[in-house]
Structure formats: C-alpha cells, structure tokens
Amino acid sequence: MASLGSWREILQSAIQNHKHLKHSQHLQLATVRADGRPANRTLVFRGFVDGTDKLQFTTDSRSQKTEEMKHCPFGEICYYFTETWEQFRLNGILDLIGSTELDPSKKTLREKAWFDSSPRSRASFASPHPGYPKSSEFEQPQLDPSQGAIDTFCVLTLDPKEVVSLHFLTPIPGFLHPPCGCTLNAHKADEIVVLSVTSTFSAAMISLFSAGNHRLLFIEA
C-alpha cells in the first residue's frame, strides 16, 4: 500500500479539492454537557495555528460550549466532503482564548483572528446573547474597523490526539456510515496495521498508522 502521508496533508488536500463549495470550511464540533449529554454544533474552520497542528475556530464567550469546556475540555470535530466521500473525525483537547488571556502569544493569536474576520463576522459578537430571540427592532451593530477584539470574541483551538479518516472510494447509495463491529489494535499505532472487516463493503480494509503522536485510521472500499 502506498504511503498515505500525514493526516494534515490528507485533510488539507480534501479541503483544497472542495474549495469551490462554500461548506467545505464547515464542520461539526461535539462537546459534553455537565449532565453528561452530548452537544453538537457547526463551526467554520479558520486554519491551523502557525507552527502547530492545532485547528483554529472563533466563538462567542457567551455560547454554551464555553461552559461545557469548563466541565470537560475534550471535544471531537467531524468533517464530511460530499464529492469525494471523505470523512474526518479528530478528537483532542480544546482551548479557549478569550479577553482575559494572559499568554502573550495567545493574545496575539486572538487579535490577529479578529482582524482576519469579516466585518459582518465581527459585528455578530456585538449581537444579543446567543440562544435568545432577537427583538423585531434589532439592528446589526456597526463596529469601528480599527477597533480591536471585543470582550465576547474568543479563539477556540483543538489539539488533535486521535485522527480518523474514512474514505469511501466507491460510493454506495444510501450507505452513509462506516462499517460496524471492527476491532482495532491501538497498541500497534507505530506501524501500519491492516485488518479485514466484515461489512456491507466487499473487500473493505482498514489501515491504522501513526502520524507523530497521532493515530490515523483509513478505510478503503
């Protein structure tokens, strides 16, 4: 089997192949509520933090996810690319960078993310509390373009600890989920492991290999 490259290279390739689709930058982030129930929402991918494999997003400090992170700092994101039938699941540690951040490098990252955002995106952080109805008289606030990040603006990063890539090379209509009942030996993450899988796919195979400190699971059909 040919080398699959790093998980980041594969993900960036999928994003590049779908750049003509607006939703190619959209993904889902799952977190855990204080009562143990899952929570999910759609975010916009804002690129990688310079010099790292951390994924970057922006969020409102008043959103529920910020409270959920205090209870459990772990999260999982899921990407799905419609034209190539590729799915990526990355779980890891979330970090929230807000207005009270003291780390100089993180403060710089937050300020840069603010000015990289569109005027419309910036204005959304001055809107009423997320999750509450807007008044019929609500008008989108206009911010000074030279104004720095306002208090509600946060940068959210995810430091991946495990990466799963599902690539359905031969799409099967109506089949949208990966095979079930697979057993993986995670202790062999430092070498390529090929396992037979019993599923609705014929001759489906799974490859598990390491990418630095990460595990990458790749399914071919």
Average pLDDT over residues 14-38: 93
**Residue 11's closest CA among 184, 175, 189, 214?**
214
pLDDT over threshold 90, residue 193: no
Of the pLDDT bands very low, low, confident and very high (cuts 50, 70, 90), residue 38 is: very high
Average pLDDT over residues 187-210: 34
Three-state DSSP at 94 gives strand
pTM over cut 0.75: no
Of the pLDDT bands very low, low, confident and very high (cuts 50, 70, 90), residue 124 is: confident
Q: Is 194 exposed, middle or buried (0-12, 13-18, 19+ CB in 10 A)?
A: exposed
- Tokens standing for 178? 């990966």
**Residue 221's closest CA among 162, 163, 179?**
179
Of the pLDDT bands very low, low, confident and very high (cuts 50, 70, 90), residue 195 is: very low
| Residue spans per domain, the chain | 7-127+145-162
- Tokens standing for 182? 């697979």
> 68-77, 151-160, 162-171, 205-214: lowest mean pLDDT where?
205-214
**Superfamily for the 7-127+145-162 domain:** Electron Transport, Fmn-binding Protein; Chain A (2.30.110.10)
- What pLDDT does residue 179 have? 41
Amino acid at 15: I
119 or 131, higher pLDDT: 119
